[in-house]
Amino acid sequence: MLFYSIGIYVLQGIYRCAGFFKAKAKRFNEGRKGLWARLEAIDTRGRWIWIHCASLGEFEQGRPVIEALRNQFPTHKILLTFFSPSGFEVRKNYNQAHLVTYLPWDTPANARRFVNLFKPELVILVKYEFWLNYLQALHTRHIPVLSISTILRPKHAVFAWYGSVFRKVLRTVRYFFVQNDETVRLLQTIGITHVQRVGDTRFDRVIEIARQATPVPLAELFKNGEPVLVAGSCWREDMDVLLPFINEQKIKFIIAPHEISEEFLRWIEKSLHGKTVRYSQAEVMTTLPEAQVLMVDQIGLLARLYRYGEWAYVGGAFGNGLHNILEAAAYGIPVFFGNRNYTKFQEAVDLTRQGGAFAIDDFHSLKSEYQALHRVENYQVACEVNKAYVAHNQGATEKIVAFCKTLLTP
């Protein structure tokens, strides 16, 4: 643990230095200024359930469990923590949590101080957030910890030659609710058998979104009964593929870029041949139905926008990693994405094998796959595959909450 804690202090120093050059690191550092003063000014009396997420993607996995626990245990308080500013800044006003905050750095003193402050009755870690000093502090106080939507791969530090300290501390976790069979097998190789494969809670979340999503009137007006491709979470590398495709096609497009900076939006608009309208300006556009592209320059709408598509394109795979394709698949429409960085996402691998999703190389590959879907039988198969896949994999939240009931009293 000593070397791990030294590594945390080193990482803390790296972030402080990076804050002078990187905007995200700067937000990360500024968000933690005065953090302890804010935390210790809070009335922490009550019965706390603590859920920790690295960032926004993990929050979406934890969200169905948070809301189910809030319903099942109304007298408990929900403490939601984030490591990354991209999660905290978007969800800092999330109304299903009693407190949303950054997690203080995982030093031994911070971990003991934080756990002693809130004294949670239950802790839930989402996906693969394993902060060893926090886990040790929780174990010392005999506080049960669950890991949900867990997914591990052979290259994870816990399985490395230097990972003995990780393995020792992970054995203190009460139960692992994991996404796939590989994670079950990997945990068993290090002597952890309190594991159940329940799948990914995101399936429950996207089903709920699709079922309860309220209409987006401007998108409905833009669609005007015509076929639409919804392109979500797109980076510049995705737009390099999409732009020539959009300029060649006669269908309509809703584009929700991952980054909505003015510079990026203007670059996209200048590259498009057809009429483009920004969502923020669409309300006053009487000619909105005549536009070819609706540019979404607001966050929080994408999951509801996929309902207006006959096809979807999800960005990120040409860069650091594919974004959430389940939000689109839940509506039973074919999904395209880049082919460079998607294989670590089980749903993307499964759906490409089954014929509901398509990993494309470039503009020509996208055009080819799109044209193949003009055959009615191909399109219907893709739609049915995606719809059935999402429906088949629901239910993880119910199993996790049932286990929580054995650890909590009303």
Shared domain for 187 and 315, answered yes or no, is no
Q: So what's the pLDDT on residue 47?
A: 97
Which band of pLDDT confidence, cut at 50, 70 and 90, is reported for residue 2?
A: confident
Query: Residue 6: inside a domain, yes or no?
Result: no
CATH number of the domain bearing residue 264: 3.40.50.2000
For residue 325, CA distances in Å to 153, 306, 308 come to 21, 10, 15
157 in any annotated domain: yes
Does 109 fall in a domain?
A: yes
What average pLDDT is seen over the chain?
A: 94
Q: Which two tokens stand for residue 40?
A: 């210790």
pLDDT band at 409 (very low <50, low <70, confident <90, very high): confident
Q: What is the pLDDT of residues 199-235, one digit of tens each?
A: 999 999 999 999 988 899 999 999 999 999 999 999 9
Contact 138, 123 (CB under 8 A): yes
Q: Is the pLDDT of residue 99 over 90?
A: yes
pLDDT at 397: 97
CATH number at residue 179: 3.40.50.11720
Residue 410 has pLDDT above 80, yes or no: no
Q: Are residues 106 and 244 in the same domain?
A: no
Asked whether residue 206 is assigned to any structural domain, the reply reads no
Q: How far is CA 106 from CA 6, 112, 132, 284, in A?
A: 10, 10, 7, 50
Residue 96's pLDDT is 96
Average pLDDT rounded to a whole number, residues 378-395: 97
Distance CA 135, CA 143 (A): 9
Q: Is residue 23 part of a domain?
A: no
Examine the domain organization and report whether 99 and 222 are in the same domain.
Answer: no
223 shares a domain with 176: no
For residue 374, what are its two tokens? 């003009």
| Whether 232 and 366 share a structural domain | yes
pLDDT greater than 80 at residue 286: no
Same domain, 231 and 297: yes
pLDDT band with cut points at 50, 70 and 90 for residue 9: confident
CB atoms under 10 Å from CB of 75, counted, come to 8
What pLDDT is recorded for position 337?
98
The model's confidence at residue 177, banded by pLDDT at 50, 70 and 90, is very high
Q: What is the pLDDT of residue 300?
A: 84
Is the predicted pLDDT of residue 279 greater than 90, yes or no? yes
> Quick check: is 18 in a domain?
no
Distance (Å, rounded) from C-alpha 257 to C-alpha 387? 25
The band of 86, judged by pLDDT with boundaries at 50, 70 and 90, is confident
- The number of folded domains in the chain is 2
Please indicate, yes or no, whether residues 266 and 170 belong to a single structural domain of this protein.
Answer: no
Give the torsion sign (CA, 30, 33, 35, 38): negative
The token duo for 238 is 């995705």
Question: Are 172 and 268 contained in the same domain?
Answer: no
Residues 265 and 135 reside in one and the same domain: no
Structural domain including 83 reads 42-199+395-407
Residue 96 lies in a domain: yes
Is residue 166 domain-shared with residue 226, that is, in the same domain? Answer: no
- pLDDT above 90 coverage of the chain, percent: 82
Residue 144's pLDDT is 98
Asked whether residue 14 is domain-assigned, the answer is no
Residues 264 and 157 in one domain: no
Whether 67 has a pLDDT exceeding 80, the answer reads yes
The pTM (predicted TM-score) of the whole model is 0.86
* pLDDT level of residue 7 (50, 70, 90 thresholds): confident
Summarize pLDDT for 122-154 with one digit per residue, the tens. 999 999 889 999 999 999 999 999 999 999 999
Residue 243 pLDDT level (bands cut at 50, 70, 90)? very high
Q: Give the per-residue pLDDT at 200.
A: 94
Distance CA 177, CA 168 (A): 19
Q: Are residues 70 and 135 in the same domain?
A: yes
